[in-house]
Structure 1
């Protein structure tokens, strides 16, 4: 990734961090930045990282696509969405280990789509989430139609999409769009502790659970996947360590194998 791209990737032990790095633009992403996000997600997926945090620099998560780069009647919107935005979001979803969206400030438009592509969303109290595209005469994208419909049901999804309402962190949590809300002054430490706990967890089991959550189409398929998955997980080093520690009444130390 070039230094000109608004995406940075770093590692701290088993924890990877993807940082959206255009704070002066509230981390709005240009076309090249979406492609850099795609590259970062693919790199993380192959890195052996055991958990991932995606966040924004400068106390905003992401304000979506950089509108200064698009012009109605001139920009090929299909190429932008299908060739830049969607591949990045699909790559984020394809990361096999838990992915955490650490949301502060603005999380709107395509930024909301990035958070929706993650497994767990953690919010600071100052977070605002939504897709106010209707205010500028265009529709939301970034997978938000199906995500909001499947998460909230048709009525609430339609309400949020049609009105472009921005949700507070507490409202997002009440709707099931956010797992935890932390006070602004505690967000960094609480989010970091949560991410490090997942990175130190039984990676094989977490990876298998993520696969089932993403791909089981009904109860029968889910139970079949659980049987196959449990057979694999049971033979992992982490399962052996965890069961031994439980029997010995000690704390397990997982290695991710």
Structure 2
């Protein structure tokens, strides 16, 4: 996986887009390998997954130098290559975090937005500039942006293609937090490290509710059912016992 690097460090899986000379734009093969890396994280039973870009950019999306105008099979490109990778990320059951520095545009924003949480450096810039080259947004932009920031704001970004600063993204709700560039690496490591050592069974069920529930009634019912399951886990026993004993819990993801 030349352009995609995968590593497992304890319970934390890391997926890195490693084409800094192209601002981490992904070739067709890179998209395939990205999906494989996401599936590997699941097979490895990682308790949290971190996605990031090498160098000073997160990702510039699809490497458009692969495209020949008038000759590209857009359906195969999007539905056969890009979408399976996004679905693989989206279907990871444990928490997923995108650590964004620099450019996060086009399909790169799709990758980040497919994750549960986006952590941004102050250097981060977000955009879906497809209209600038006469095409519509893809890579999940319509769904993911509407889900994250609402219809009006999603429509504005998709129609205009304008660039958002990290602070703009934070204000809109596109990212969860913004860090100083100098402290970003350390803060990301602390954040994902805590997730990887957290009560995984509870986090997995919370994620399933956040991702799937469509109504209040359904949400309350699913929440109650999954909470009953969580109370039967070893981590729940440990967490409650530790609280009553006045000590810090040690979660094992079981």
2:134 corresponds in structure 1 to 137
From 202, 205, 230, give the equivalent of 2:202: 205
- 1:183 corresponds, among 175, 180, 184, to 180
The question of whether the paired residues in 2 share the 8 Å contact of 1:45 and 1:94 is answered with no
Q: Secondary structure at the match of 1:178?
A: coil
- Measure the CA separation in 2 of the matches of 1:177 and 1:149: 10
For 1:153-196, what per-residue CA distance to the aligned partner results, in whole angstroms no more than 9, with x for missing partners?
A: 33222211111011000000100000010000000001110110
Q: Does 1:124 align with 2:118?
A: no
Match of 1:38 in 2: 35
Distance 2:190 2:37 in 1: 23
Give the corresponding residue for 2:16: 19
Pair 1:192 & 2:189 matched: yes
Name the residue aligned to 1:238. Answer: 235
RMSD: 0.9
Distance 2:58 2:36 in 1: 19
| 1:104 maps to 2:101 | yes
Shift of 1:152: 2.6
Displacement of 1:45 after TM fit? 1.3
Q: What SS is found at the alignment partner of 2:183?
A: helix
The two structures have a TM-score, normalised by structure 2, of 0.98
Aligned pair count reads 254
Counterpart of 2:169 in structure 1 is 172
Distance 1:82 1:20 in 2: 20
Structure 2 unaligned residues grouped into runs of 5+: none
> Deviation per CA, 1:64-101, whole angstroms, max 9, x where unpaired?
00000012210101100000110000010100000000
Q: Distance in 2 between matches of 1:17 and 1:252?
A: 25
SS in 2 for 1:121: strand
Q: Could you list the per-position Cα deviations for residues 192-221 of structure 1 after superposition, in whole angstroms to 9, with x for gaps in the alignment?
A: 101101111000000000011111111111
Residue number in structure 1 paired with 2:226? 229
Post-superposition Cα deviations, 1:17-71, rounded to whole Å, max 9, x if no partner, equal 0000101000000000000001001111121111010000012100000000012
* Matched residue SS, 1:8: strand
